[in-house]
Amino acid sequence: MTSLIQGVFNQFPAEISKDFMGNNYVIKKGIKSKQAVMLAAHLDEIGLIVTYFDNLGFVHFSTVGGIDQRTLLNQEVIIHGREDINGVVSLVSREKLTASKKSFLIDDLIIDIGYSQEKTVQLVKPGDVVSIKREPFTMLNQNIAGKALDDRAGITVMAVCLNELCRIDHKHDVIAVATVQEEVGLRGAFTGTDRIKPEIAVAIDVTHAQTLDTKAQVNIQLGKGPVITLGPNIHPRIYSGLQTAAKENRIPYQIQPVAGPTGTDARVIQLSGQGIPTGLVSIPLRYMHTSVETISVLDVVDCGKLLAYYIASLPEDLEELSCF
């Protein structure tokens, strides 16, 4: 993954490094200040892990992160064992497939790799990671669908932001962090924030967009612009600054109040050290934690531009943002 990150960010005048956790850091220097603005988007994805295999050679598994179990049946997967092995998720017993059953538990499912038990034990062991096999594809209206857009779309937002900052003066150093292990406990953001100790930070993630089954429970819409979060996890002056930057630069945006922890990297960034003033910008996304997560390319581009214009508008001394 580091080579992929370098391939994306090497085009910018920036320093790229990595820590022992696997976080990737892209540092673009500002023109005046030695203070730092942190951007964070996670590069890990939800998946599966091998738990054991039975006497028929079928592989049993558990989840890594909050994968939508309803969508697993008949998915193509790759077991990353001694070599990459293709498999198909199937049912333990066809008797489980009844008209009354709405979804299946993990214990109902196995991975069929086509081998006997003897051959399986040579190639697969408990603890091997399993990923969903799915290539992204384009849809109408500048939308795309695929796996792991949560949150690799956020990585793209950081690239768009740095691209914009190459032609806009900005005072402060910008450190874009591609964090790890967000889906299993926000771990990369915790260690990354402690390492760089930024003055302020903005996390970038995805948020649920309306679908037919969400009815009135979700108000965020695909293609209507970045989502700016407010609530106790968010510093009010960063929220208002993002909102002002959107208005002044005619970027469409949506507001999302979150009454508690956001469940994103913003949660641990805010609580790091003596506290970091933190914001959150999200990309509307449909079908979260499935292999067909769907986003609008326009929303991604607008998110990156919004962050760039916000960073360019920051005062010379970021300490004043710590005040309410």
Please, how many CA atoms are within 13 Å of residue 292, restricted to the half-sphere of its CB? Answer: 8
Residues 6+ apart with CB under 8 A from 188: 21, 22, 23, 42, 44, 177, 179, 180, 181, 182, 265
Strand order in the sheet with 293-296: 137-138, 143-146, 293-296
Catalytic residue, chosen from 182, 183, 199, 293, is: 182
Would you call 248 a catalytic residue per the annotation?
A: no
pLDDT digits (tens, 9 = 90+) for 280-303: 999 999 999 999 999 999 999 999
8 — pLDDT class (breaks 50, 70, 90): confident
Domain with CATH 2.40.30.40 in the chain: 47-132
Is the distance from CB of 235 to CB of 72 less than 8 angstroms?
A: no
Nearest to 152 by CA among 190, 205, 193: 205
Residue corresponding to tokens 């200040």: 33
CATH topology of domain 2-45+148-322: Aminopeptidase (3.40.630)
Provide mean pLDDT across the span 76-89: 95
* Residue range 10-41, pLDDT digits in tens: 788 888 899 999 999 999 999 987 799 999 99
Which CATH number applies to 47-132: 1.10.1040.10, 2.40.30.40, 3.40.50.720, 3.40.50.10860? 2.40.30.40
Say what the pTM is.
0.92
Q: What is the DSSP string of 75-130?
A: -EEEEESSSEEEEEEEES-GGG--TT--S--GGGEEEE-S--HHHHHHH--TT-EE
Report pLDDT for 100.
47
Task: For residue range 194-219, list pLDDT tens digits in order.
Answer: 999 999 999 999 999 998 877 778 89
Say if CB 284 and CB 296 are below 8 A apart: yes
Q: Judge whether 307 and 161 are in contact, CB under 8 Å.
A: yes
Q: Where in the chain do CATH 3.40.630.10 domains reside?
A: 2-45+148-322
